[in-house]
Each structure stands twice: as structure tokens, then as C-alpha cells.
């Protein structure tokens, strides 16, 4: 167990060098994994940040867990490490433009939210007014091995603004994977 009850998984040794990976096959196959497109929200004191995340899935019914991989060198990764919490906003199918705002560089931390009004949820995390809804999660585990950290969060709050079709990565023409 790490600090504050967050478990860390020991790094698994790499495969022997003799097992050569077919890089093209790996890329083709991993890009077949279907993904949604979400806005992850983070908050540290008065500062908020958000970014587009597609490497997201559910990990347990009870307790409800979600799994999200976050670039090790991103601003938000450090904030999740410090605060042990994050929100996931589910975008509607027609909100591709908003997703684009949240992966582009911003002038200052939180600047992306100029394009997206939000309120703070019970855990103090950004919940976009115009998304389908959002969940707020407490961090319960992580694997730091490679260029993304795999975070596991337990869903503590859920806010549904409206139901509807969610934005899927395949519909955007963007690629994040492989």
C-alpha cells in the first residue's frame, strides 16, 4: 500500500529480448480496441485543469471502478498523484469540437474551461455543464510503468445532465492508440 490507501503494483519484468514484438501487428491490433472520448477533470486547491482522455474503461461493478491511462509527463498526471481524485465527463456525440479544445496546449492552467462552463462537484472536481454527465472518483490504485500511468478510481458521485449518444473515438477520425 502506498500513502492514503492507494495501492501500487510492482513493475513486471520485461519479456526476454528473444521474443521480438511485431510492431505493425501490435499497432493494428491495439487500434481495434474501441474507445470513447471523455474530459478528465482535476483540481488542486483553487486550480482546475482538464484534458481529453480516451483510454478509459469500467473496471468493477461493486465497488464501481473506472480505469484511465494518463500521460506520465502531463500536468494532470501530477495533480492526480497529489490529490488522489479525478472526474470523468462523458461527452455527447456532437461535442467533438469541445474534445479538440481539451487536448490542445493552453495559455494557463484551466484555460480550456473558457470554452466549457462547469461547476465543482461534491469532491471539488470540474463537472462540465454541457456534457451528458460526469462521475467523480477517488484514486484506489495505480500502475506506473511506461509512458502512461494507469489509474484506478472508485466512483463516488454521478451527475446525469441528460441521456444521449456518447462521443466515440472512431467517429472523430482521430487516432490515439497502437
Ligand X SMILES: Cc1cc2nc3c(=O)[nH]c(=O)nc-3n(C[C@H](O)[C@H](O)[C@H](O)COP(=O)(O)O)c2cc1C
Q: Cα–Cα distance between 65 and 50 in angstroms, integer?
A: 20
Interface with ligand X, residue 70, by CB under 6 A: yes
95 binds ligand X (CB under 6 A): no
Residue by residue, DSSP assigns 78-91 as HHHHHHSEEEEEEP
Closest residue by Cα to residue 174 from 87, 91, 113? 91
Minimum distance of ligand X from residue 91's CB (angstroms)? 11
Q: Which is nearer to ligand X, 13 or 108 (CB)?
A: 108
Where does this chain touch ligand X (CB under 6 A) — which range of 4-12, 23-31, 48-56, 153-161?
Answer: 48-56
C-beta of residue 74 within 8 angstroms of C-beta of residue 49: no
Q: Which is nearer to ligand X, 54 or 132 (CB)?
A: 54
What 8-state DSSP symbol labels residue 148? E
User: How many Å apart are CA 24 and CA 41, to the nearest integer?
Assistant: 33
Least distance in angstroms from the C-beta of 38 to ligand X? 8
Strand ranges (E), 30-178 = 38-44, 47-53, 56-60, 65-71, 85-90, 118-120, 126-128, 133-144, 148-160
Answer yes or no whether residue 83 interacts with ligand X by CB under 6 A. Answer: no
Q: Candidates 119-127, 128-136, 159-167, 169-177: pick the segment binding ligand X (CB under 6 A).
A: 169-177
Q: Is 52 in the site for ligand X (CB under 6 A)?
A: yes
Question: Count of residues binding ligand X (CB under 6 A)?
Answer: 17
- Which residues contribute to the site for ligand X (CB under 6 A)? 49, 51-55, 69-71, 74-76, 103, 148, 169, 174, 176
Amino acid at each position: 500500500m502506498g500513502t492514503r490507501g492507494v495501492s501500487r503494483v510492482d513493475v513486471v519484468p520485461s519479456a526476454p529480448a528473444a521474443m521480438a514484438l511485431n510492431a505493425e501487428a501490435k499497432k493494428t491490433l491495439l487500434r481495434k480496441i474501441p474507445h470513447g472520448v471523455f474530459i478528465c477533470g482535476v483540481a488542486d486547491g483553487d486550480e482546475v485543469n482538464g484534458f481529453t482522455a480516451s483510454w478509459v474503461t469500467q473496471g468493477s461493478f461493486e465497488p464501481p471502478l473506472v480505469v484511465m491511462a494518463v500521460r506520465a509527463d502531463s500536468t494532470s498526471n501530477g495533480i492526480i498523484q497529489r490529490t488522489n481524485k479525478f472526474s470523468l465527463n462523458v461527452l455527447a456525440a456532437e461535442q467533438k469540437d469541445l474534445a479538440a479544445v481539451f487536448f490542445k496546449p493552453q495559455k494557463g492552467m484551466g484555460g480550456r474551461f473558457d470554452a466549457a462552463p462547469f461547476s465543482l462537484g461534491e469532491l471539488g472536481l470540474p463537472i462540465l455543464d454541457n456534457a451528458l454527465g460526469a462521475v467523480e472518483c477517488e484514486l484506489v490504485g495505480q500502475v506506473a510503468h511506461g509512458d502512461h500511468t494507469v489509474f484506478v478510481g472508485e466512483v463516488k458521485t454521478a451527475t446525469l445532465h441528460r441521456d444521449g449518444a456518447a462521443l466515440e473515438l472512431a467517429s472523430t477520425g482521430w487516432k490515439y492508440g497502437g
